[in-house]
Amino acid sequence: MRFDVTILGSSSATPIFNRNPTAQILNVNERLFLIDCGEGTQQQLLRNGIKAQRINYIFISHLHGDHYLGLVGLLSSLHLNGRVKPIGIFGPPELKEILEIQFKYSQTELRYPIIFQATQTETPEVIFENNDIIVETILLEHRIPCTGFKFSQKKRLRKVIKEKVDSIGIPVDMIPLIKAGVDYKDKQGNVYPASELTTDPDEPRSYAYCSDTICNWCYLDQIKGVNTLYHESTFMHDMLQRAQDTYHTTALQAAEVALKAGAEQLLLGHFSARYRELDPLLEEAKAIFPNSRLALEGHTFDI
Amino acid sequence: MRFDVTILGSSSATPIFNRNPTAQILNVNERLFLIDCGEGTQQQLLRNGIKAQRINYIFISHLHGDHYLGLVGLLSSLHLNGRVKPIGIFGPPELKEILEIQFKYSQTELRYPIIFQATQTETPEVIFENNDIIVETILLEHRIPCTGFKFSQKKRLRKVIKEKVDSIGIPVDMIPLIKAGVDYKDKQGNVYPASELTTDPDEPRSYAYCSDTICNWCYLDQIKGVNTLYHESTFMHDMLQRAQDTYHTTALQAAEVALKAGAEQLLLGHFSARYRELDPLLEEAKAIFPNSRLALEGHTFDI
């Protein structure tokens, strides 16, 4: 099952050095989820050959412009390009008002419904679930209310061993039962234990998106054991005071979070405009957490 | 005196084929005016090497997203990059509310003042004037209230003939008077007529920006004699019905407007997403008005 994330933007606050503000596409079993939607996200989708109409759910972390200003344009284009199927948007409650006022004044009546679900920052909660994944909010601490998002694959059914199943001639409609652990009994009364017809399923994997936040450790429990952690690393650690003043994180801190969370892979992003070259941030993180990567635009990372 | 326009975006409605939504930079004697501000304008300014902080006035034609969605991001970046000097914004009254709500929810207190002046669509009016130009609104007819803008250079003072002035030894502080037409009299009582010390000034030039509008001819009087006309040409003329239904103009109609207005140069823009190749639109316009040009991104046109 495909489970990866494509970076559309990794700049903090102001776009610069050809870096765009934050947006990511999560591909879960060929269903696309958009995480944050900075200005120019629709252009970035085009540049990366990703069909915007395939997005059915959008998650907005907070209402700083570099995380949502591309949303009205994207929603308008979906409308103009003929969308009729609904889109789900998760984000701070005030986002609804921001969208409504702009559609009102542009006299835009969307042809498709927006299903808006407000997030809150009191307690983490499950906000979405389908056959493949569960999405929970992560409580972050920024200058304004902000949540991260944790995408966890569901535990999956056992995998059938095709050659065995074929050689025994098990009917197709029995397969789901065998995957679920039911033994197979043929017409002659022979019993084939499900455990011998199947192998263990892949372990469910998970992705945590943490941007923007001061490194307060409060969210550590929630992301423990996550496979891939995206964590903002706006500054290098020599700018720790500035990071704290602006409720951001340093690359070193992000690496410490990844280490303590027991993550397998760390994606660094939300780079300050002060850094033209990003390798120093990567090196700083790698010294603590070797499997650190730069969340560069256009790159896709398996989770 | 420099008087030119640089195209930052020329796509209608949805960005496509690497074309961005509408935005233009007018350079008037090294002062920058931004005309419309579609999504991604700040990125386009960066790509074209234009310093956003040099913009002191912004003119927004109407509240369809492809003409203003880049504004909050641009204003935020100016703030984050330390701007303190005021910025003037001209646009529909509701724009103020759209800006305010977004700065409220992002808890952004701009370090610089926004001087907002609401436009109206009852009657054309002069909305701005400095030493170099006068800006008037043009009443367009679109699906929602919309104005164009006409930028007219002021009539300028006569130009002194430097060699003559130097040879006579005219004091520097007399020059402005001579430019204004006052004759010079030296200590011996010799009179030098201003008409002999100066040549005629350059004729004032003008630029009319007409996007978006149905071709209703009502605005023709206002743009008569304009030197450079930017006119939307969303469709080709075989799509006339569609143009009229959506309150847009065809390339052929734009050329007819330029012809009847007696313009010297026509810039075509606001191209529909249906046209990957734009040469057919250009050819259609040129058949009526030979000095037609495509308003392509990154191109600068003398007015």
Are the CB atoms for B197 and B161 separated by under 8 Å? Answer: yes
Q: Which residues have CB under 8 Å from B28's CB, separation 6+?
A: B1, B2, B3, B132, B133, B151, B153
- Print burial letters for A249-283: b (CB count within 10 Å at least 16), e (below 16): bbbbbbbbbbeebebebbbbbbbbbebeebeebbe
Q: Give B-chain residues touching A76 at CB under 8 angstroms.
A: 13-14, 65-66
Mean pLDDT, range A5-19, rounded to an integer: 89
The pLDDT score that the predictor gives to residue B75 is 98
Q: Are residues A183 and A275 in the same domain?
A: no
Cβ of B72 within 8 Å of Cβ of A65? The answer is yes
Q: Residues of A with CB below 8 A from B105's CB?
A: 63, 92, 94-95, 97-98, 144
Chain B, 75-134: which have a CB under 8 Å from a chain A CB? 76-77, 80-81, 92, 94-95, 97-98, 101-102, 105-108
Tokens at A250, concatenated: 């340093």
For residue A17, is pLDDT > 80?
A: no
Residues B209 and B288 in one domain: yes
Does pLDDT of B14 surpass 90? Answer: no
Return the percentage of chain B with pLDDT > 90, whole number: 90
Q: Which of A171, A199, A227 is the last residue of a domain?
A: A199
Nearest to A66 by CA among A256, A293, A273: A273
What ipTM does the predicted assembly reach?
0.87
Give me the pLDDT at residue B68, please.
Answer: 98
Claim to verify: residue A15 and residue A54 sit in the same structural domain:
yes
Instruction: Measure CB to CB from residue B102 to each of A73, A80, A98 and give the nearest one.
Output: A98
Report pLDDT for B15.
82
CATH number, domain at B33? Answer: 3.60.15.10
**pLDDT reported for residue A14:** 84
Q: Choose one of A199, A231, A256: the last residue of a domain.
A: A199
Interface residue B13 vs chain A (CB under 8 A): yes
Same domain, B86 and B221: yes
Total structural domains within chain B? 2
DSSP string, B237-296: GGGHHHHHHTT--BHHHHHHHHHHHT-SEEEEE-B-TT-S--HHHHHHHHTT-SSEEE--
Sign of CA dihedral A275, B110, B74, B65: positive
pLDDT higher at A268 or B203: A268
Residue A270 clears pLDDT 90, i.e. is over it: yes
In this predicted structure, the answer to whether residue A1 has a pLDDT above a threshold of 90 is no
- For B76, the closest of A65, A70, A102 (CB atoms) is A65
B190 and B62 in a common domain: no
Quick one: pLDDT band at residue B35, thresholds 50, 70, 90?
very high
B110 and B13 inside one domain: yes
pLDDT band at A18 (very low <50, low <70, confident <90, very high): confident
Task: Kindly state whether residues A228 and A289 are assigned to the same domain.
Answer: yes
pLDDT at B16: 82
Q: Do A81 and B14 touch (CB under 8 A)?
A: yes
Q: Give the closest residue to B58 by CA, choosing from B89, B24, B99, B91.
A: B89
Is B246 an interface residue toward A (CB < 8 Å)?
Answer: no
CA distance A133 to A129: 6
> Is B229's pLDDT higher than 90?
yes
Q: What does chain A come to in residues?
A: 303
For residue A135, the model assigns a pLDDT of: 98
B66/A contact by beta carbon, under 8 A: yes
Confidence at residue A99, expressed as pLDDT on a 0 to 100 scale: 97
**Residue-by-residue DSSP string for B44-104:** HHHHTT--GGGEEEEE----SGGGTTTHHHHHHHHHHTT--S-EEEEE-THHHHHHHHHHH
Tell me which chain A residues have a C-beta less than 8 angstroms from the C-beta of B107: 143-144
pLDDT at B157: 86
Q: Looking at residues B23-51, what average pLDDT do you find?
A: 97
Q: What mean pLDDT do residues B241-270 have?
A: 98
Write out the residue range of the structural domain in which residue B31 sits.
3-156+202-302
The rounded percent of chain A whose pLDDT value lies above 90 is: 90
A26 and A101 part of one domain = yes
Residue from A60, A72, A105, A143 to probe the interface with B (highest B Cβ count within 10 Å): A105
A67 and A172 assigned to the same domain: no
Q: Which of B21, B66, B106 shows the shortest C-beta gap to A144?
A: B106
Both B85 and B231 in one domain: the answer is: yes
Average pLDDT of span A43-67: 97
If you average pLDDT over every residue of chain A, what do you get? 95
Name the domain boundary from B178, B199, B220: B199
Flag whether pLDDT at B265 surpasses 90: yes
Q: Which residues of B touch A101 (CB under 8 A)?
A: 97-98, 101
H/E stretch holding B125 reads none
pLDDT category at B161 given cuts 50, 70, 90 is very high
Please tell me the distance in Å from A54's CA to the nearest CA on chain B.
17
In whole angstroms, give the CA distance from residue B37 to residue A38: 16
Q: Annotated binding site of A for Zn(2+), which residues? A: 62, 64, 66-67, 142, 212, 270
Query: Is residue A93 located within the same domain as residue A113?
Result: yes
- A56: tokens are 């059915």
B46–A16 CB contact, under 8 Å: yes
Q: Please, which residues bridge with residue A133 across strands?
A: A153
* Range scoring the smallest mean pLDDT among A198-202, B27-31, B236-240: A198-202
Task: For residue B64, say whether it is annotated as part of any ligand binding site.
Answer: yes
Q: Are residues B49 and B189 in the same domain?
A: no
pLDDT above 90: residue A276: yes
**For residue B171, is pLDDT > 80?**
yes
Angle between helices A94-105 and B94-105 (to 10 degrees): 170
Q: Report whether pLDDT(B95) > 90.
A: yes
Cross-chain residue pair A98–B101, CB shorter than 8 Å: yes
Torsion angle of the four alpha carbons A10, A11, A12, A16, in this order, in degrees rounded to the nearest 10: 180
To the nearest whole angstrom, how far is the Cα of B285 from the nearest Cα of chain A? Answer: 26
Res. B60 pLDDT band, cuts 50 70 90 = very high
The reported pLDDT for the residue numbered B13 is 82
Peptide linkage before B212 cis (omega within 30 of 0): yes
CB B135 within 8 A of CB B126: yes
**Mean pLDDT to the nearest integer, A95-106:** 97
